[in-house]
Amino acid sequence: MTNEALVALALEMRQRSYAPYSHFAVGAALLCDDGTVFTGCNVENAAYGSTICAERTALLKAVSEGRTSGFQAVAIAGQGEDFCWPCGACRQMLYEFAPDLTVLAARNDGQFRVCSLSQLLPKGFGPHSLK
């Protein structure tokens, strides 16, 4: 799957967003090496801190379906003028399962930037750190 196609899925997933508090819809699409894609959206909560981001929704869908490795890329699409880079908590969660992940951050007009997770979370703490 092309980067453009993965970003298109993330953009589309914004429609599923539940964001009555921030009104900031985010969609995500997580690509596996066999071509499987897990999608997600942000799901907010009246207890604001319980909100879950779109990319974490996608990741947790994958893990809960038994997929814990082989992740290639994640596309994240916000609705702002700026590229939607993952928050710190999501960087850490993604790093656990995919330290070599490619991150595609999209903005409202569909343009996106590509970066590696290791660039976004250098010297990260992960499973290897506990050895």
Positions in the binding site for ligand THU (CB under 6 A): 19, 22, 24, 26, 42, 44, 51, 53-55, 76, 84, 86-87, 90
19/60 with CB nearer ligand THU: 19
55 is catalytic: yes
Q: Indicate the burial class of 92 (C-beta count within 10 angstroms; 0-12, 13-18, 19 or more).
A: middle
Alpha carbons 118 and 131: distance in angstroms, whole number: 20
8/76 with CB nearer ligand THU: 76
19/63 with CB nearer ligand THU: 19
- 4, 12, 44, 55: which one is catalytic? 55
In the chain, alpha helices (H): 3-13, 54-64, 88-97, 117-120
Compute the least distance from the CB of residue 86 to ligand THU, in Å. Answer: 4
| Maximum CA extent, the chain | 44
Give catalytic residue positions.
55
